[in-house]
Amino acid sequence: MGFDYGRGRIGIALAHRTTQYASPLQTLEVGRGIEWDSIGQLIETWQPDLLVVGLPLNEDGSEHEVTAEAKRFARRLEARFNLPYRLVDERLSSHEASARLKGAHSPSRRGRRRTRLTLDSAAACLILETWLSLEATDR
């Protein structure tokens, strides 16, 4: 299960190692805090054996304050759900997800909101696919 952590939203996707394909599950709006119960329900339903969290970095590879927040989020996932996690460089994942969804953008206000929510789960897919490809090359 993959996560695109953000201060406003967390995109979530699911992948299977055999198919090497990720599909979007859901985007949670953070608002007043992380919806741990919602994440727990997804984990209970899908029974992942690993959690992959995107690591936001500056273009030069250096860390910024959201990097530390994403690491903290990953550690909290591990502690709450007793599952291992991996961090994956997510530089440009949102840009690539946006390019994939370009045809889905609607000019209406409601359409823009829906596209933003879809973008986060699509970015989570890219994070998972990146991890899967890195794992395949390490074998």
What's residue 104's pLDDT? Answer: 47
- For 68-103, what is each residue's pLDDT tens digit? 999 999 999 999 999 999 999 987 555 555 555 454
DSSP-assigned states of every residue in the chain:
-EEE--SSEEEEEEEETTTTEEEEEEEEE-TTS--HHHHHHHHHHH--S-EEEEE---TTS---HHHHHHHHHHHHHHHHH---EEEEE-TTHHHHHHHHTGGG--SSHHHHHHHHHHHHHHHHHHHHHHHHHHHHHH-
Domain 2-138 top-level CATH class: alpha beta
Residues 16 and 84: beta-carbon distance below 8 Å: no
pLDDT tier for residue 31 given thresholds of 50, 70 and 90: confident
pLDDT, mean of residues 103-111: 47
Identify the burial level of 39 via C-beta atoms within 10 angstroms of its C-beta, where 0-12 means exposed, 13-18 middle and 19 or more buried. buried
Quote the pLDDT of residue 109: 46
pLDDT tens sequence across 47-65 = 999 999 999 998 888 998 8
